[in-house]
Structure 1
Amino acid sequence: MDSVKYQLEEWLGTGFRDQEDHQAYLALKQDYEEATGDMQFSILELQGRLDYIIHQEDYDWEFPDLPSDVFEEYMVKVGKTYLLDKEQGISYLKFLRFDN
């Protein structure tokens, strides 16, 4: 399993050459997670997207004032993160501020 973990780390570190590469990564990740119960790669993917939303500079909105579709994506990903790692999920939830 160490070689599988290494391959997954390599893919995440260097990126994917094409869609086939990405599909192979997803299949290998699923097999790895089912065999080991180690969900770190799913968590890393979620964290990457959440961090992108928080720190993005490509749009005309700023975090935490998100358009409704981006807010919905953020909350779905926070929920998935929470299910895999409660502490991480809560930490991403705390980035939001709710004004009454």
Structure 2
Amino acid sequence: MTKTIEDLRYQLEEWLAQGFTSPEDRANYQALKEQYEDETLDYSFSKQEIVGQLEVIITSRENDFPDLDEVTRDGYLELVSQLEELDEDTANYYRKQLG
């Protein structure tokens, strides 16, 4: 039986809320997310993941944001580039956070 779009979205939301307990859980989430995105063209889960990663960089005390070391800065800008493909306005917001 094929899962409905609503079922896919619910399962994705549940996995994000509960977290992943194993690499297999993460892989299953990724596969389901790709299926959902292919069927709906709704990239909100990918956007949410990227924004979450950017927020961790910004709020992590070890990073001294916005004065990031070169490696962290490159990773941050790579995430912003990925986000730009999904939401240009939000990507511009995070790009401006670097100053």
Q: TM-score, normalised by structure 2?
A: 0.93
Residue 92 of structure 2 corresponds to: 90
4+ long deviations beyond 4 Å? none
State how far apart, in whole Å, the 2-side matches of 1:39 and 1:75 are.
19
Match of 2:6 among 2, 5, 11: 2
Query: What is the CA distance between 1:35 and its match in structure 2?
Result: 0.7
- Per-residue displacement from partner, 1:3-32 (whole Å, max 9, x unpaired)? 100100111111011110000000000010
Please give the root-mean-square deviation of Cα atoms over the aligned residues, in Å. Answer: 0.7
Shift of 1:84: 0.4
Unaligned runs of 5+ in 1: none
Once residues 69 and 11 of structure 1 are traced to their aligned partners in structure 2, the CA distance between those partners, rounded to angstroms, is 30
Instruction: Give me the whole-angstrom Cα distance separating, in 1, the residues matched to 2:17 and 2:76.
Output: 23
Aligned counterpart, 1:43:
47
- SS of the residue corresponding to residue 89 of structure 2 reads helix
Partner residue, 1:62 = 64
Q: Partner residue of 1:14? A: 18
**One-letter code aligned to 1:65:** D
Q: Which amino acid aligns with 2:66?
A: P
Report the alpha carbon displacement of residue 94 of structure 1 after superposing the two structures with TM. 1.1
What residue ranges of structure 2 are gaps of 5+ in the alignment? none
Q: Which residue of 1 is the match for residue 77 of structure 2?
A: 75
SS at structure 2 position matched to 1:23: helix
Equivalenced residues, count: 95
Distance 1:87 1:7 in 2: 28
SS of the residue corresponding to residue 81 of structure 2 reads helix
Q: Aligned partners of 1:17 and 1:71: how far apart in 2? A: 29
Which is richer in helix?
2
